[in-house]
Amino acid sequence: MRNRKIIIILSALLVTASCIVLFAGDTSLSRQTPRDFIDDRPGLLTHNEKKRISRFHRALLNDLDIHITVVILETKCADIDHEAVQLFQEYTVSTATTGAKGILFLVDPAGCQVRLEIGYDLEHIYPDGFIGYIERKQMVPFFREGRVGPGIEATVELLVGKALRAIKESTHTIRSERHRIGDHLSGGAGARTDVIIGSGEFQKDSIRPTWEFGPQNTPGETLKRYMTILRMHIKDPDLGIYTDETQAFFRTWTVTDAQQDNELKSLKNNIDQAILFHKGHRAVIRFPITGGQVPPYFFQCGPQGWMLDFAAMNRIIRFNHRNQWLFSSKNHDFMFAFEDVFFDENGFPHLK
């Protein structure tokens, strides 16, 4: 925890969040300018956040043919559902795609509400129940902390993951119906959620006793115990199963239920393909390189046993717009687990 990182990493394990969602290796030509992706009327986003979101959304448009636009209102909206449909048309969201494949993020800070409006050709991928879920369980925690930009990025990460899984499982295809000029591009699909932006830090309750989630005898046992943490939605940053540096990292990191659900699902689907690499007091559990959807997990061994090193993962691992992991650097202490892998100029892994 899609801030696409480590938990988001993991949340896409997707995101990122972590959530430090960064795009790497984009060489495609852009079809639009940044202002076509963001209209931040009250100026809630920083310059760097706008730049990063625009770049990420441009990559999605060019690669997945999905057009995402963010509109942040300055004055309170009386009827956000109606406003979303109107703005979807006004901003011609989807017209840059081969069909009505658009998503509008409408944020109403004064009215304490948000809405995601979904284009006709994406409704079968994103039913209203799913949209409501990611608004409540992903956007709200970020927005409550005043982290609007990272919240948008983290939510988009989950949307991308859902689309890619649907295509991979062949349960859906993304329709490509061209709509006539003047046709409506959305019909009210999506959901709205109440949220007060900047209302307070998302609570990370401590749990007692903590011994159950302390260091384990093996990296495999540590990962399985971490999966229990995900299933129980535990967000206590001070668990002994984490290295000291990881505990410090999680104290300032936004972790959401949606990220944890997404990460747990990814781990369950791939745990039988996990491979353990061990050297001294460090270890790596690696998943299939092809596809690159599940990142490697790093571990360190202390006097009491094996711990997860998400702090190191956050420094080293990044994700692109398809939630594929890459290394930001190959100069680190966990490279022993990748002797059969070469990394291209953008940092993406490939089997030798």
Domain boundaries, the chain: 20-194, 211-351
Please, are residues 254 and 141 in contact by the beta-carbon 8 Å criterion?
Answer: yes
Taking the CA atoms of residue 125, residue 128, residue 134 and residue 135 in that order, the dihedral angle to the nearest 10 degrees is 140
The pLDDT of residue 263: 96
Q: Indicate the CATH number for domain 20-194.
A: 3.10.310.50
SS3 96: coil
Q: What percent of the chain has pLDDT over 70?
A: 80
The pLDDT of residue 102: 87
The pLDDT of residue 203: 60
Please, are residues 298 and 242 in contact by the beta-carbon 8 Å criterion?
Answer: no
Mean pLDDT by runs of 10 across the 352 residues of the chain is 39 35 36 64 93 89 88 93 88 71 92 92 90 93 92 91 76 48 58 86 63 93 97 94 97 94 95 96 95 91 97 96 92 97 95 93
Neighbour tally for 250: CB within 10 Å: 22
Rounded to 10°, the helix 148-168/257-270 angle is 30
The pLDDT of residue 212: 85
The pLDDT of residue 246: 98
